[in-house]
Amino acid sequence: MKDNNCKEIIINGHKLLCPICGGNTFWENKDMVNSKWGFLLGCSNKKMDIFICQQCGYINWFWNE
């Protein structure tokens, strides 16, 4: 996992914490969702944000209309 792109994430005023390891730095990936996962999930018109935990790799999904 690359460290230079990892950062703390704030969702609606709440700092995102990994539910698995409690980590607070995440790797953000939006392009992957729009081009690949969005199609697979049948929601290519939706905007989804993915934040991957830097420590354990847990994927936090957020759905944005």
Binding site for Zn ion (CB under 5 A): 18, 20-21, 23, 53, 55-56, 58
Phi and psi dihedrals of 38, rounded to 5? -60, -40
Q: Which two tokens stand for residue 37?
A: 């996962």
Query: Which residue, 33 or 53, has its beta carbon nearer to Zn ion?
Result: 53
Query: Which residue, 22 or 30, has its beta carbon nearer to Zn ion?
Result: 22
Which stretch of DSSP H or E encloses residue 22?
none
Query: Which residue, 39 or 61, has its beta carbon nearer to Zn ion?
Result: 61
The residue count of the chain comes to: 65
Q: Taking the mean position of all CA atoms in its chain, how far away is CA 46?
A: 15
Q: How far is the CB of 52 from Zn ion (least distance, A)?
A: 9
Q: How far is the CB of 59 from Zn ion (least distance, A)?
A: 10
